[in-house]
Structure 1
Amino acid sequence: MATRLNHGNTQPVSTLPDRVATPLRHTPRALLASLVLALLAACAGNDEMPDIAADSGEAQIYRQAERFLDSRNYNMAVRSLQALESRYPFGKYAEQAQLELIYAHYGALETEAAIEAANRFIRLHPQHPNVDYAYYMKGLAATAADQDILSRFLPLDKTTRDVTYAREAFAEFSQLVSRYPDSAYAADAKARMVYLRNLLARHEINVANYYFRRGAYLAAANRGRYVVENFQRTPAVADGLAVMAQGYILLGKDDLAKQATETLALNFPDHPALEKGGSLRSEYTLEGEQRSLINRLSFGLFDPPRPPQFDSRDSD
């Protein structure tokens, strides 16, 4: 029996928001611009130290840290804020400096340090009026944690990379939304969650395609089913159904293959894996597979057929 799915809004977030409202003086700037400038500052001044006199007062050090943040010299801002906290751990600027330190680490591309600083602030000040900012910055830092130089400047497909940090980022944004639904950052966090959810779903399809190449058809079909069951309202659901249909066909599970194909045809009739009549195209079936001599002689044990890969994004 074919099942009609809840499509919902399946458009992925192609770009992340540039700015968000914040009760703090500083807000996350445009992501790419911030990373580029921070990288240049890091390369130019790794050995530079902020000029902090031994008799500098708390307000003076804080103003210096503010100037570094305003000029996007995040490495110097980190050192100034650390010096402020070290000298005046119970001063009037201590809590604000801890919040600013999260952002400074993030701007300096020190994502692990930003996450740790956010965790520390949440642990020390769970009732602080701006604790939602710490949760939000944890999500931002986790999102950026797996980025290398190439991924920052080249349009690489993030769904083919390790998604551990993407899962962590999704969890952090989810905490923010559930704990502080009225937060100034909630709307942006929800948009990022949609983007991350689409990314995680597409990653599962990529893994299924890998299993198809390895001849692990059951593992591939299970990945497709996981997408359909756990990532509703994402664009990858269509490919998840196609993966299930092909996997079950290659496994000889005709009833399950028929059900998956009918569901795909009902909900996504224009999917590139389907014929006009709603059946799966021959190249995705056993009839469309050309088994090698080694595969036939080994009764399917070696050199399994390698069916076409699923990625309906190419047809959008």
Structure 2
Amino acid sequence: MSIKHLLLVGLLSLLAACSSNKATVLDESLSESELYVLAQKNLDANNYGQAIESLRALESRYPFGRFAEQAQLELIYAYYQNLELDAAKSAADRFIRLHPQHPDVDYAYYLRGMTSFTRDRGLFERFLPLDMTRRDPGAARDSFNEFAQLVSRYPNSRYAPDARQRMVYLRNLLAAYDTHVGHYYLKRGAYVAAVNRGRYIVENFQQTPSVGDGLALMVEGYRRLAMDDLANNALLTLQTNYPEHPSLQDGEFRHHVEPAQRESGWVESMTTGLLDKVMTPPSMNRETQMEREMEQQYQAALNALPRDIKTPRQEQEPEPKRSIWSRLTFGLFD
């Protein structure tokens, strides 16, 4: 079966699922208890769209009832499970603002962090082995900060252990992303920016696997800037703390090694990576977002350099963009 047929089958299945989840008109005569029981049945059956309708009706019809606050909490969960992440985050913010002393407010903090944690993973990222360290880190930063609020405010919460583990993962992801940015600076000849990015990793992401990469960035950048003393200091730290780093061969620094690429999955191998670019919506395209952000950061760093220390490569005009024909033919006919 071809990719087109697979896409058609998936689209028809999605449309069928959406049509089957249409919200039913709720009886106006339903009492508060009946609405709450109906919402629970829908939640138990994973009918989150219908559960949302029941919970919203309960909250609007009985705003001061005994189930009102519980309905607001469960509405956050229903939005989250229905992948209405913006609505889930807004509902969580509203609950925290209205009920800061509620005994279960820590749950609202936790779900707010989960909405940002999930936002960074689009439809295809959930099923395909894409490298998350090359994605735009905005949602990861938001999620880390939101989990940090939960842990600092409610260290004994039942959700705190899971939040701490996710914070470790997010911190490693953010550090790895900065490593990719630093390597991009090296390739563009922005050595000062690469050194600064490496120093930032070392100073702000201690105890992450990327610290060795940050030191390697500093060594490579300082050497290309002919700052041998600073390069040797960074190299000594790298040799002492990370003797097995890929940039070291028999203890000697050979060259900076770009962070390892993920292994291509069978889907990407069969489609030559087209799913990453063609099928992914623009807001989820990891390469476009990363390249755009790094290009902006690179240009800002380049403009900040004094003219007398810019390399000849940095003084040249930017290379023209390649045409679609050039990309399709791998530049063979340029």
Which band: TM-score by shorter chain? 0.7 to 0.9
Between the aligned partners of 2:242 and 2:120, the Cα distance in structure 1 is: 33
Aligned length: 252
- Is residue 193 from structure 1 mapped to residue 167 from structure 2 by the alignment? yes
- For 2:138, the equivalent position in structure 1 comes to 164
User: Which one has the bigger helix percentage?
Assistant: 2
Aligned-residue offset at 1:40: 5.9
- For 1:69, the equivalent position in structure 2 comes to 43
- Is residue 148 from structure 1 mapped to residue 153 from structure 2 by the alignment? no
- Is residue 44 from structure 1 mapped to residue 18 from structure 2 by the alignment? yes
Between the aligned partners of 2:15 and 2:53, the Cα distance in structure 1 is: 14
Range 177-186 or range 210-219, more displaced: 210-219
Q: Decide which of 253, 259, 264 is 1:280's aligned counterpart.
A: 253
- For 1:209, the equivalent position in structure 2 comes to 183
- For 1:22, the equivalent position in structure 2 comes to none
Please report the TM-score for the alignment, with normalisation by the length of structure 2: 0.72
Q: Is the 8 A contact 1:41 1:73 kept in 2?
A: no
- Is residue 220 from structure 1 mapped to residue 194 from structure 2 by the alignment? yes
- For 1:115, the equivalent position in structure 2 comes to 89
Between the aligned partners of 2:16 and 2:58, the Cα distance in structure 1 is: 21
Q: Give the 3-state SS of the residue equivalent to 2:29 in structure 1.
A: coil
Q: Is the 8 A contact 1:112 1:145 kept in 2?
A: no
- Is residue 179 from structure 1 mapped to residue 140 from structure 2 by the alignment? no
Aligned-residue offset at 1:46: 6.8
- For 1:9, the equivalent position in structure 2 comes to none
Between the aligned partners of 1:275 and 1:48, the Cα distance in structure 2 is: 62
Distance 1:216 1:127, change over 3 A: same
Between the aligned partners of 2:165 and 2:207, the Cα distance in structure 1 is: 14
Distance 1:95 1:151, change over 3 A: same
Q: Give the 3-state SS of the residue equivalent to 2:248 in structure 1.
A: coil
Q: Is the 8 A contact 1:46 1:75 kept in 2?
A: no
- State the identity as a percent: 54
Q: Give the 3-state SS of the residue equivalent to 2:196 in structure 1.
A: helix
List runs of 5+ in structure 1 lacking aligned partners: 1-38, 286-297, 305-316
Distance 1:40 1:101, change over 3 A: farther
- Is residue 81 from structure 1 mapped to residue 81 from structure 2 by the alignment? no
RMSD: 2.1
- Is residue 261 from structure 1 mapped to residue 212 from structure 2 by the alignment? no
Between the aligned partners of 1:40 and 1:194, the Cα distance in structure 2 is: 35
Aligned-residue offset at 1:49: 1.7
- For 2:65, the equivalent position in structure 1 comes to 91
Amino acid at match of 2:253: L
Q: Decide which of 206, 210, 221 is 1:247's aligned counterpart.
A: 221
